[in-house]
Chains A and B, each alone.
Chain A
């Protein structure tokens, strides 16, 4: 399946919390995406977005964020697990768009300080992804005990994650290509 445009796969860093270790994960995934010629990427840090909290949903769309979601062929969400759930601000941000997501791929990287965490936040996000029209891949990025995976500067300490994220990215790219072809060429049944 040939495509003239590179795939655009931004990484959304899904927490504004000070001291977040998810930033190390987001930058690691961004770096791995950047190594691939067929992919353009960008880091979207929800801390830097300025959505009001006096309203919600598409009523508070931000033109730049919507344009980025419109252009995206797939998303990577890097999401910490807070009290077994995802950060409320991430949901607030994602809810500002809808048509921009439909029939696009999404892969989720869960992050936690605990050894058993990160899978729960991914599972909790799946129904949200589905309702937004995103198509989830079946590979996840699991980053439990994240404080042991990166040093203070963000350097990866466990090289096995390079191999793991490679599988994640390959599946995401396949799904992104297929869904782009579908969006642009396969008509819905009339």
Chain B
């Protein structure tokens, strides 16, 4: 599910740490075609900046 390209913290301009995924069930109600059938929702990647602690997210894609 993971994207291979790193996310960059918009504030610190350094690579974030990708440490979690979370299923967004509500988003799947809006975009049912985007839901992963294995999980019943849309998977979101959770990233945190090691410098400022800022949180960034993006939609995970199937690999």
Contacts and interface: CB of A to CB of B under 8 A. Distances in A.
Contacts, number: 50
A57 B22 CA distance: 15
B13 interface: no
A73 B18 CA distance: 17
**Residue with the highest number of chain B CB atoms closer than 10 Å, among A98, A100, A180, A183:** A183
A187 to B, nearest CB: 6
Interface residues of B, number: 18
A188 B19 contact: yes
Contact of A184 (B20, B22, B46, B50): B50
A186 B53 CA distance: 13
Interface in B19-63: 19-22, 24, 26, 44, 46, 48-50, 53-55, 57
- Main secondary structure, interface of B, reads strand
Contact of A102 (B2, B22, B49, B53): B22
Interface in A144-190: 180, 182-188, 190
Interface residues of A, number: 21
Contacts of B49: 184
A185 B22 contact: no
Given A102-B46, A185-B17, A187-B18, 5 more contacts: A98-B22, A99-B55, A102-B20, A187-B19, A188-B20
